[in-house]
Structure formats: C-alpha cells, structure tokens
Amino acid sequence: MIRNHGAILILCSIIGFTGHYLQFGVARITPWIPAAMGLSIILANARFKTNNGFKKYIPLFMVVVFGIVTTIMCIKFLAQDVPPLRKKLIFCLMSISALVTVANRLRVLLKENNNQREKR
C-alpha cells in the first residue's frame, strides 16, 4: 500500500508538471516535490520493510508527515477561487491517498502486534 501511495505521488507530479507547462509554457521544479517524496517513500519502504526495530515505521512516518502537508495545502486551495481545478484535485487525491495508506498500514501493524502477543 505504501508503494501505491508513492506511485500516486509520482503520477500527481507528472500531471501537475504537464498541466502547468501546457497552461503557462514554463517548466517549474515545484511539481516534482511530490515525486521526490514518493520515490523516497518507495525506497524507504523497500529498505526498512523487513526490519524489526523502529526502522520499519520510517516509511509510515514519511507518509504521515507529507500527508499532513498535502492535507493542509488541500484545505487552503479548496477555499480559494484562484488555483486551477487541476491543483485542487491533485492535492485532494494525495491527501486521500495518504489517509488510506496510513489507516491500512496501522491496521496491518496492529494485526502483526496482536499475532506476536498470541504467540507468547
């Protein structure tokens, strides 16, 4: 699920970059911030997924932090009339994806902890 969220961030970056370029004719770096974060989340998940310590929570922490940022920006953009609809939809999609990813990952982690307790 975390990989899917990273892929959604990368896809949203591509859509945002393409839409901004087609609308204004200017290539900007800022649409690539979610792609960089998505790639970082995917790599962290691959690297720390099998660790038993606190390191396995690093990808989840990254999703939570960036999810909070995108949710705040989504709320700000929804209240404004100026940003294009594309921007509003992209930030809503990233926020919803983060919420679903965090809820799913917490469910999986709680299930793993319950299974470990039952084995003792």
Residue 25 backbone zone (phi > 0: left; psi -120 to 50: alpha; other: beta): left
The confidence band for 115, taking pLDDT boundaries of 50, 70 and 90, is confident
Q: What is the pLDDT of residue 51?
A: 74
| Beta-carbon contacts of residue 55 (< 8 Å; ≥ 6 apart) | 48
pLDDT given at position 39: 97
- Segment 40-86, tens digit of pLDDT: 999 999 998 777 788 888 999 999 999 999 999 999 988 888 778 88
Position 114 scores a pLDDT of 86
Cα gap 81→85, rounded to integer Å:
9
Q: Terminus-to-terminus CA distance in the chain, angstroms?
A: 29
Tell me how many degrees the CA angle 107-62-112 measures, rounded to the nearest 5.
Answer: 25
Structure tokens at 28: 């900007």
Q: How far apart are CA 57 and CA 109, in angstroms?
A: 9
Mean pLDDT of 93-118: 91
